[in-house]
Amino acid sequence: MIFVDSDRLRADFDALSQFGATGDGGVHRPSLGEAHLAARAWLRERIVQAELQFHIDGAGNHSGVLTSERSNVPTLLLGSHTDSVPHGGRFDGALGVVCAFEVLRVAKEHRVALTMNLEAIDFTDEEGTLVGLLGSTAMVGKLKPEHLSSPRGGRDALQAGLARAGLNEQRMLSAARPRESLGGYLELHIEQGTRLIKAQKNIGIVTDIIGIAAYRLAFIGRADHAGTTPMLDRLDAAQGASAFTLAAREIVMHDFPRGVATVGKMEFAPGAFNIVPASVVVSLEFRAPSDDEMERMDQALLECAHREAARFGLALDIEFLGRHAPTLMSQMAQDAFVEACEALGLSSIPLVSGAGHDAQSLASLCPVGMIFVPSVGGASHSPKEFTEWQDCVNGANVLLQAALQIAA
Amino acid sequence: MIFVDSDRLRADFDALSQFGATGDGGVHRPSLGEAHLAARAWLRERIVQAELQFHIDGAGNHSGVLTSERSNVPTLLLGSHTDSVPHGGRFDGALGVVCAFEVLRVAKEHRVALTMNLEAIDFTDEEGTLVGLLGSTAMVGKLKPEHLSSPRGGRDALQAGLARAGLNEQRMLSAARPRESLGGYLELHIEQGTRLIKAQKNIGIVTDIIGIAAYRLAFIGRADHAGTTPMLDRLDAAQGASAFTLAAREIVMHDFPRGVATVGKMEFAPGAFNIVPASVVVSLEFRAPSDDEMERMDQALLECAHREAARFGLALDIEFLGRHAPTLMSQMAQDAFVEACEALGLSSIPLVSGAGHDAQSLASLCPVGMIFVPSVGGASHSPKEFTEWQDCVNGANVLLQAALQIAA
């Protein structure tokens, strides 16, 4: 059995953590921002130094490739993403990218005879600062012009990001890879929850990824003077938005115990102390593990928005931003991970992923699988994110064994 | 009796309305922004063309002065402000400035023998995009370093505005005028409500200006992954902020029928779809016509904020941004306005002002008075602001007669 090099992996992880470092253990590396592009330039250099082929596609996905000596074989993708949420943690995504890269280095050093090419990939905009799962959606040919014309991060931010990265929308829309070129996709990620630690297990083997949908809900009233307009004469957008935010939580807690809903942002216009707000735009996201629950939550939350808008005399403008159905992981990949854990003497449990991942996109083209490593305290999308280094190394070794089982 | 020149006044009003015009009848002219500074450059040129003395003080207040032939006499200020709220109307403030300027021109043309100097003044930042009543507070010597160190519009916006206008904080803090130099302050303003139109009266004579206070309330929770964090494990700042926004309205409607409270803005951090918000900063403003009501509202609203924060496990950070006590208008000024209306054959009623005005600041140094002209539909701080032109001219003539009664 061959193993990853813990020290080399650690050096890469620490180096990557410096890009966009916020000084509190976290990173601020929104997709295609300056810090993210600097991280990618570093990754490119590391790939070239390791004498792997460097590849970048129309969606800006960055890859290192180790080709099989056989020709016309498919590629097993291993990867994750180097972008972060605003003021996020240094493990989410980044750990999966450096582990994938390490797997290729180890395979190359040991001159493993490959039956598939191995590709370590850093997907563009997994987190959705711009669109969400952007690079992987483009790769599987499901990116549509409407994803780019009203992205959830706003059109200006998307255009600025593409310009900074030297990308363009036309090439992005043409970045699809042929189905036959892909042999599978494996990803290592932090759990972003406390189930592994509570169960005292080393590795979580993902069975399903939860479904996710996002809306922008604009509650629209009327701007009025905050001193001269009596309370009862107001059409106050803040009241509708606030009432919806409270009611959405109640609905989910009572009727959807397996789901979550989040108001991550409100934008007030005009947004002054002394003006009754004319509009408040609510960023709503919700998730559930089955199609049926997704469908019912969608209906319940939009009905709630209509009801609360009407209660305060407001109009409601609903913008649907996208949806990912709940996704099953491939049995072949789950089996490979189970065997790898057994071979390495590591404990494992099956887990549902509450977070979205690029594997959701890839699942439409090839077998996909994911493993989780334990998150201390469960903190996620936060500078407090932390995983013990031995757990990171364990995960990397599981990824290595599973990849070799599939591609060697 | 002498009168204002309606056509000349109209030409000035229309010219001023072009600066920051938003194309829908409104203006976007936040204090010390580009459009506001362009409007002030235009005003300066008009003052010079009218052969009045141009004056600008350390707080950036712009004035045209018509001096009495007597020496060592006090000055009667007439004025208002040319700044607007974001995306506001073209009448609020601007009408009072052009009317004050017109009064000086008429007095000069008719070579009125003045017992006081007349000064038409455009006060800096009445609306509070930066600090609120900034120019008038500086003029009466009540501007403190703490007003400038944590302004309600944010420190960056204040510094950028001062730099654009060529002002500095030290001069601003030293812009006080001696008490004996001021003989009074009169202001014409739109009503920003519908009481005059409902009562079918020409002129509102202000008796009191309502008190006003502002806070920034930070509800502080914890950033968490929006997919992997169960609803019950969240410390969601959006819940506390929303619950406060709803409860504040209920408190005011039930316990303070003469008061108002407004949440004009919330700022979410980190502010992403897929992160439970770690903090939400609520911009709160409230107003009431008596000291007692102000005191009780303050207590009730802050208690409510504490209660709602605690309910969702959040911390609460309270930043007090300032307070203006309810202000009585001078009887002398009210009498002068009543007499002017009678002489002109115009109807009038006494009114309380629900909006804050620079007269609140001036009241600590000299007698102050205000008149309102009718607002069609009551729209205010909105592009829909409108006053019939004849009502504007009526108001200007009342201001002229009252000024001459006091200063001639």
CATH number of the domain that residue A97 is part of? 3.40.630.10
Q: Do B128 and A193 touch (CB under 8 A)?
A: no
Q: Do B227 and A287 touch (CB under 8 A)?
A: yes
Q: Does one domain contain both A201 and A76? A: yes
In a domain, B11, yes or no: yes
Token duo for residue A33: 């921002």
ipTM rounded to 2 decimals: 0.73
Min Cα distance B128 → chain A (Å) is 8
Interface test with A, best of B28, B31, B229, B321 (most A CBs within 10 A): B229
Q: What is the DSSP letter of B101?
A: H
pLDDT at B334: 98
> Between B227, B241, B264, which is nearest A274 by CB?
B264
Task: Count how many Cα atoms sit within 13 Å of the Cα of residue B306 in the half-sphere of its side chain.
Answer: 6
Residue B217: strand pairing partners:
B282, B318
- Mark the ranges of chain A whose per-residue pLDDT is less than 70: none
- CA angle (B133, B135, B138) in 5-degree steps: 100
Chain A, 181 to 220: residues with Cβ < 8 Å from chain B are 191-193, 210, 212, 214
Q: Does one domain contain both A339 and A403? A: yes
Q: Does one domain contain both B297 and B197? A: no
Q: Do A354 and B227 touch (CB under 8 A)?
A: yes
- Count CB neighbours of B349 within 10 A: 16
Q: Does one domain contain both A128 and A41? A: yes
Orientation of helix A291-311 relative to helix A237-255, angle to 10°: 150
Asked if the C-beta of B274 comes within 8 angstroms of chain A's C-beta atoms, the answer is yes
Min Cα distance B213 → chain A (Å) is 10
Among the three residues A293, A324, A355, which one is the final residue of a domain in this structure? A324
Q: Which residues of A touch B275 (CB under 8 A)?
A: 85-86, 88, 262, 264, 381-382
Q: How far apart are CA B357 and CA B136, in angstroms?
A: 9
Q: Does one domain contain both B299 and B266? A: yes
Q: How far apart are CA A332 and CA A349, in angstroms?
A: 16
Domain range for residue B97? 6-210+326-407
Chain A, 219 to 248: residues with Cβ < 8 Å from chain B are 222-233, 236, 238-239, 241-243, 245-246
In a domain, B1, yes or no: no
Strands A279-288 and A211-220: antiparallel
| Closest CA in chain B for residue A285 | B273
Chain A, 128 to 157: residues with Cβ < 8 Å from chain B are 128-129, 132, 152
| Closest CA in chain B for residue A241 | B242
Q: How far apart are CA A348 and CA A201, in angstroms?
A: 5
Q: Does one domain contain both A331 and A278? A: no
In a domain, A171, yes or no: yes
Min Cα distance B224 → chain A (Å) is 5
Q: Do A266 and B270 touch (CB under 8 A)?
A: no
Q: Which residues of B touch A354 (CB under 8 A)?
A: 225, 227-229
For every residue of chain A, which 3-state class applies, written as one string? CCCCCHHHHHHHHHHHHCCCECCCCEECCCCCCHHHHHHHHHHHHHHHHCCCEEEECCCCCEEEEECCCCCCCCEEEEEECCCCCCCEECCCCHHHHHHHHHHHHHHHHCCCCCCCEEEEEECCCCCCCCCCCHHHHHHCCCCCHHHHHCCCCCHHHHHHHHHHHCCCHHHHHCCCCCHHHEEEEEEEEECCCCHHHHHCCCEEEEEEECEEEEEEEEEECCCEECCCCCHHHCCCHHHHHHHHHHHHHHHHHHHCCCCEEEEEEEEEECCCCCEECCEEEEEEEEEECCHHHHHHHHHHHHHHHHHHHHHCCCEEEEEEEEEECCEECCHHHHHHHHHHHHHHCCCEEEEEECCCCCHHHHCCCCCEEEEEECCHHHCCCCCCCCCCHHHHHHHHHHHHHHHHHHHC
In a domain, B216, yes or no: yes
Q: How far apart are CA B17 and CA A311, in angstroms?
A: 37
Among the three residues A324, A358, A379, which one is the final residue of a domain in this structure? A324
Q: Do A277 and B265 touch (CB under 8 A)?
A: yes
Nearest alpha-carbon partner for A246 in A236, A234, A254: A254
Among the three residues B304, B324, B344, which one is the final residue of a domain in this structure? B324
Q: Which residues of A touch B226 (CB under 8 A)?
A: 260, 262, 264, 285, 287, 381
In a domain, A274, yes or no: yes
Q: Does one domain contain both B315 and B203? A: no
In a domain, A335, yes or no: yes
> Between B192, B225, B246, which is nearest A380 by CB?
B225
In a domain, A246, yes or no: yes
In a domain, B201, yes or no: yes
Per-residue pLDDT tens digits for A98-149: 999 999 999 999 999 999 999 999 999 999 999 999 999 999 999 999 999 9
Q: Is the dihedral of CA B340, B344, B348, B352 positive or negative?
A: negative
Q: How far apart are CA B101 and CA B122, in angstroms?
A: 10
Q: Does one domain contain both A124 and A36? A: yes
3-state SS class at B62: strand
| Closest CA in chain A for residue B268 | A265
- Mark the ranges of chain B whose per-residue pLDDT is less than 50: none
Min Cα distance B265 → chain A (Å) is 5
Q: Does one domain contain both B242 and B319? A: yes
> Between B264, B276, B277, which is nearest A272 by CB?
B264
Per-residue pLDDT tens digits for A35-55: 999 999 999 999 999 999 999
Q: Does one domain contain both A188 and A82? A: yes
Strands B224-225 and B203-209: unpaired
Residue B265: strand pairing partners:
B283
Q: Does one domain contain both B197 and B123? A: yes
A-B interface: how many C-beta pairs under 8 angstroms?
A: 238
pLDDT at B323: 87
Q: Do B264 and A242 touch (CB under 8 A)?
A: no
Tokens 């470092």 identify what position? A21
Q: Does one domain contain both B167 and B292? A: no
Q: Which residues of B123-136 are buried (b: 16+ CB within 10 A; e: fewer)?
A: bbbbbbbbbbbbbb
Domain containing residue A266: CATH number: 3.30.70.360
For B190, list phi and psi in degrees, rounded to 5.
-75, 155
Cis peptide before A270 (omega within 30 of 0): yes
Q: How far apart are CA A194 and CA A384, in angstroms?
A: 14
pLDDT at A121: 98
Q: Do A380 and B241 touch (CB under 8 A)?
A: no
pLDDT at A60: 98
Domain count, chain A: 2
Q: How far apart are CA A335 and CA B240, in angstroms?
A: 45
Asked if the C-beta of B385 comes within 8 angstroms of chain A's C-beta atoms, the answer is no
Provide the greatest CA pair distance for chain B.
79
Per-residue pLDDT tens digits for B328-387: 999 999 999 999 999 999 999 999 999 889 999 999 999 999 999 999 998 888 899 999
